[in-house]
Structure 1
Amino acid sequence: MTNIVVLISGSGTNLQALIDAQEKGVLHANIAAVISNRPGAFGLERARLAGIPTEVIDHTGFESREHFDQALQERIDAYQPTLVVLAGFMRILTEGFTRHFLGRMLNIHPSLLPKYQGLHTHQRAIEAGDSEHGVTVHFVTPELDGGPNAIQAIVPILPDDTADSLARRVQAQEHIIYPLAVSWFAEGRLRMDNDTCVLDGKVLPGSGYLLDTRP
């Protein structure tokens, strides 16, 4: 079975979605370890309750981003994972780190990439007057939030939406599409080919596979 290592920084809701999918037998992968850069991350407790090994590598103890990434890379490699999953890992990764795991590292980002890279995506979508928003699972490349998209879920923006209400609906879709994308990879159905995603032997469009939750 495919081994994965999950990286977190916070509460770990997407980690919990992966754990739940694994326990239900719908995630055909083994979560070998959960690693956090923050000692107090609640996601570590989620992992412990599920019997998953945890590690903390506190980024504040390193003199540079490069030194931290090198230490993190060594700990990940110790588990010999086929896939690294970023689940709310709030670090900008160095080019050397991303190239080491190129084609075998996924991230989830709360926008319809390439729109709204970076932070505060829900508020930015509302302020721009967009009618739709969503979430993207993509392969990680040296460009921030710039790797090829594997799957997107589209969420309508309602007239009375706030950033918080929109975020809740987007997060519900995160918990659906992330286990799905990880399962596709673990089953050998999803791969990165140069700057594209290939699913079941077919090159996906730039948006990736679309899951549309609009009425």
Structure 2
Amino acid sequence: KEYPSKADYEREIVRRLRAERVELICLAGYMRILSDVVLEAYRDRIVNIHPSLLPAFKGAHAIADAFAYGVKVFGVTIHYVNGELDGGRIIAQRAFEYLGSDPEELEARVHAVEHPLYVETVAKLVAEQ
């Protein structure tokens, strides 16, 4: 469905989330910046997973950027979402050393760390609510 503006689209998202009684939004691979429409409706209840040890290497190309920079310790961050790109309060991080030279292998290692960490962290957040 087409919406006249991003704000209209996000108001519809919030309406649907509320209709389903969603209490926690978990983003993964959602490559859009949320506006205040969603952020205010779900303050401190939106989490995101990011493939770097924030605050280093924010943005969409974190793995490639860290690899190109020559980083030897990589990792994953789960953080609350706020109005700043990958800038919300950090909830959890997990690091690992990678000394290899294959960016595809590195990406697979990152994903192998991401998935269980996200599940563990979300389970803890839900248990705390």
- TM-score normalized with structure 2 length: 0.92
- 1:1-215, aligned counterparts within 5 Å? 61-162=2-103, 164-188=104-128
Larger strand fraction of residues: 1
Deviation at 1:147, TM superposition (A): 0.6
The amino acid that maps onto 1:112 is: L
Moved more, 105-114 or 152-161: 152-161
The amino acid that maps onto 1:118 is: G
What do the CA deviations read for 1:101-130 (whole angstroms, capped 9, x no partner)? 111111111111111111111111011111
Larger helix fraction of residues: 2
Deviation at 1:82, TM superposition (A): 2.0
How far apart, in 2, do the equivalents of 1:118 and 1:95 lie? Answer: 19
The amino acid that maps onto 2:85 is: L
- Please, which runs of 5 or more residues in structure 2 have no aligned partner? none
On the 8 A contact 1:99/1:142 being kept in 2, the answer is no
- Please, which runs of 5 or more residues in structure 1 have no aligned partner? 1-57, 190-215
Q: For this pair of structures, how many residues does the alignment match?
A: 129
- TM-score normalized with structure 1 length: 0.57
On the 8 A contact 1:86/1:107 being kept in 2, the answer is yes
Percent identity of the aligned residues? 35
Deviation at 1:142, TM superposition (A): 1.4
The amino acid that maps onto 1:168 is: A
How far apart, in 2, do the equivalents of 1:115 and 1:63 lie? Answer: 36
What do the CA deviations read for 1:187-208 (whole angstroms, capped 9, x no partner)? 117xxxxxxxxxxxxxxxxxxx
